[in-house]
Amino acid sequence: MCSLLEELKEISGRSTEGILADFSDKQLLKDTINRLEEAYDIDILVNNAGFGYMGEFYPMAEDKIESMVEVNVSAVVSLCRAFLPKMTKKQGTGILNVGSIASFFSTPLSTLYGATKYFVLSFTDGLHMEMLPFGVHISGLYPGHTATNFIERASGGKKKKWDKAIAAGEVADLALDGLRRNKARIIPGVGNKMRFFASRVLPARIISNKIYASAVKNYGDDR
């Protein structure tokens, strides 16, 4: 946390406050929202908290299932509901919800994660339309393979990094530009745009088979 705050200060020239909170804990999330509401007038909200799980659904631990739904779904809803009312009363406000290219199709061997990201897609598309009369920008970011430690954590170390991943900074720049222009859906990278197009034209069964085969190849099937 300290190194991140120092990096942000060096880039922006401003002091930055960091708050650590586990969004799978409803009370901690509520306390964090209250703290932010008391201290700040929020103009831009980026819902980027989330995590994945690579493996079959049926052996997932119940606490991991609950945590994923709380962080990837419930926290997004709670944060949007908390800050939107004030955003509707002033100009230059917006929310960026981070989904995934997995928001557009089922993801066997990552089934629950894909489902939570589909929720982000539907929820964000709806909010985008609702907020147009108020001038509040609502955008969804749907990245694919990005150069972060996401896949290493989600796969339990079976896969260290994505092949041909997009730099995180590039994704962030595209996301903020898209939010500024109030794009409903922001899909970084040609490869991801092709995956999105394929999800519109190919039968769901074909896509699911391909994703399953790729998942087995990338991080294995333990059966």
For the chain, give every domain's residue range. 43-219
Rounded CA separation 95/79 (Å): 10
Q: Taking the model in full, what pTM does it have?
A: 0.91
Report whether pLDDT(218) > 60.
yes
The verdict on whether 113 is a catalytic residue reads yes
| CA 138 to the chain's CA centroid | 14
Report whether pLDDT(96) > 50.
yes
* Residue 223 pLDDT level (bands cut at 50, 70, 90): very low
CA atoms within 13 A on the CB side of 146: 20
Domain 43-219 coded CATH 3.40.190.10: no
Parallel/antiparallel/unpaired status of strands 94-98 and 44-47: parallel
Greatest alpha-carbon pair distance for the chain in Å reads 55
Catalytic residue chosen out of the listed positions 113, 118, 142, 219: 113
Rounded CA separation 142/175 (Å): 9
pLDDT value at residue 14: 80
pLDDT value at residue 31: 96
Convert the pLDDT of each residue in 117-174 to its tens digit: 999 999 999 999 999 999 999 999 999 999 888 888 887 888 777 778 899 999 999 9
